[in-house]
Amino acid sequence: MNFNKIYALGLRHLYLIMNSFPRVLDLIYWPTVQIFLWGFISKFFTLNSDYYSNTVGVILTAAILYDFLFRASISFNMMFLEEIWSRNFTNLFIAPIKISEIIVSLTLTAILRTLIGLVPAVLISIPLFGVSILELGPPLVLLLLALYLFGISLGLFVTSGLLRFGPSFENIAWASLFFLAPLGCIYYPIDILPNILQILAKGLPLVHIFEEMRSILLNESVNYSNIFISSIISVIYFVIGIIVFYASYFGAKKRGTLINMGE
Amino acid sequence: MFIQVKNLTKIYKDYLAVNKINFFIEKNKTIGLLGPNGCGKTTSIGMMLGLITPTSGDILINNKNLKSFSRDQILSRFNFASPYVELPKKLTVKQNLEIYGRLYGIENLSERINEISNDLDIKNFFDRKTGELSSGQKNRVSLAKALINKPEILLLDEPTASLDPDIGDFVRSYIQDYKSKNKVTILLASHNMSEVERLCDSIVMMRKGKIIDNGTCEELIKKHGRNNLEETFLKLARSRDEF
């Protein structure tokens, strides 16, 4: 691994953000709107639901964590799409950078994009709704890591699709997370799902992460085995994501789609 | 570095894009790859850049198979420019050169950027976004990126396409000058015959994925009984079953 090259690719995306105020605004705007929307919904449920009674911000915390996952995945996809949109794909893939270095760079840079969007929104939620995700305590770090890894894994699957099918796969990039959201049990317990879907849902780290989040906030108890399971599942998806990405890269080389890929 | 292409073939499903081509580029020489659109030039360049996996055949660099090099090991010695491939539009010229300089692991990067920017006369739009530049300016920036690592092998795909005669001449003069001052082996794909005559030591003519002739400009013109390279190209491109 050459960290100078990883940094160079990260710098490319950092410059892209720094050169455009509307781009920064766009990164901040959507998470902030989400926080406002779910903040008011959360407030309503807190006042009118037995399940959520006296537990301020469970829904809003879930919304923040889900947005973290969403931003991580979309950031990864967006950075890859930027190369296609700018017709820079060939230049990137003929540069002496390893595929592993590209993955590491996109993974690390996605953190930056995610935080630019989410930190202001999280800070707003404290004075406005009296909710802080820090109330989750030390397990928050582990939950965020598991979410981040899963978000990047989804990013890897989508970018693999872009390599395989070209820019026409772009719409899937946007739809990928909405597809999984119902099974993720983000805002409701897993018992709500029909039995067959419960089995599928348990194969996703999201269920374990959000069940644990609710358990911490509602019961004030931490079950580290839940966090461990979610982390293991996220790591499995991440490894599969890397394998699929490499397979798509070699497939794209065979089909000749790496050259002149662009809109 | 010298390049030898042996029986290089690319088949996409049932379409034969490149059909057992063989050619040799001597060290520090420039070879022109000519042929009508869709004849397999870009696919051949793609295979040499490692962007396309050949169906069969070999590309040897200094007698060593391209497959035996690691990606970063070989690509640091190559570079490529084409008007159909762009640099990130929202980044300034300086930022783009900095990023590619870092990706190519250039030492004393500021000096190198300064040197190449002066040579290609791009300093006066250094802080402008690449997407805001004219075709001629973009072309020179793209060439600066392609030369930032002082490549031992340079692949150029129609480097002066869509440029006005003045800028086109500037680019051709620059490449000619660069060649004389640096050790570089160049593969040039072009439809501009005067450019090919001016820059290339020899020519490979392709049609329908196959090499139909090769030699120096003078040899080919004489062999086919034409007055210039353009007429020779037209004769070869329009020929049907002779080759």
**Class of the domain covering B1-72+153-159+187-243:** alpha beta
- Helix, strand, coil shares, percent, chain B, to 5: 40, 25, 35
Q: Does B11 touch chain A (CB under 8 A)?
A: no
The band of A145, judged by pLDDT with boundaries at 50, 70 and 90, is very high
Give the integer Cα–Cα distance in Å for A230 and B52.
Answer: 39
pLDDT in tens, A106-144: 999 999 989 988 898 889 888 988 888 888 889 999 999
Among candidates B152, B150, B189, B188, which has minimal Cα distance to B61? B152
Residue of chain A nearest B96, judged by CA positions? A12
Residue with the larger pLDDT of the pair B8 and A47: B8
Among B15, B30, B32, B1, which residue's Cα sits nearest to residue B211?
B32
pLDDT at residue A4 above 80?
Answer: yes
Cβ–Cβ below 8 Å for B12 and A256 = yes
Whole-number Å distance between alpha carbons of B57 and B67: 11
pLDDT at B241: 54
Phi and psi torsions of B13, nearest 5°: 50, -105
From chain B, pick out residues whose CB is under 8 angstroms from the CB of A256: 10, 12, 17, 43, 46, 51-52
pLDDT value for A56: 60
Q: What's this model's pTM, rounded to 2 decimal places? A: 0.89
* Partners of residue A90 in chain B, C-beta under 8 Å: 49, 51, 80, 82, 85
Radius of gyration of chain B (CA): 18
Per residue in B44-63, pLDDT (tens digit) is 999 999 999 999 999 998 88
Structure tokens at A228: 């461990």
Encode pLDDT of A183-229 as tens digits: 888 888 899 999 999 999 999 999 999 999 988 988 888 889 989 99
Residue B76 sits at the chain A interface (C-beta within 8 Å): yes
Domain definitions of chain A by residue range = 3-255
Residue type at position B11:
I
The full set of domain ranges for chain B reads: 1-72+153-159+187-243
What residues in A contact B161, CB-CB < 8 Å? Answer: none
